[in-house]
Amino acid sequence: MIDVKQAAQSAASFVYELYRDKGASDVRLEEVELVEDGKFWLITLSFQPPPTIGVLLQKPSRQYKTLKVDAETGQVLSMKIRELEYGVS
């Protein structure tokens, strides 16, 4: 079984590779979770997307993705948009 560090590295490598040509940068580890049955790691990463044309002076907001990583092989199985919750009390 891979540990949390290996799962995070696998997820980050996947994101870097996927978005390399699009200019995404500053990938950060945000959350990690080993699901209850121990078969998968859920790794949430954030990154700066490339600026869009016409909005070059604005700082782009971070994008958040949750990646499902196989706990045995380290293979990334899925990637989903991670919506942030604000103002939850």
Q: How far apart are the first and last CA of the chain?
A: 37
Predicted confidence (pLDDT) at residue 71 exceeds the cutoff of 90: yes
3-13 pLDDT, tens digit per residue, is 999 999 999 99
Predicted confidence (pLDDT) at residue 60 exceeds the cutoff of 90: no
Note the pLDDT of residue 66: 98
Note the pLDDT of residue 22: 80
Positions of E strands within the chain: 25-34, 40-48, 63-70, 76-81
Provide the residue ranges of all domains of the chain, joining segments of one domain with +: 4-81
Task: Tell me the pLDDT of the chain averaged across its residues.
Answer: 88
Q: Which residues contact 80 (CB under 8 A, 6 or more apart)?
A: 65, 66, 67, 68
Point out the least confidently predicted range of 6-15, 43-52, 67-76.
43-52
Query: What are the C-alpha distances in Å from 58 to residues 33, 38, 61, 69, 88?
Result: 33, 42, 9, 33, 27
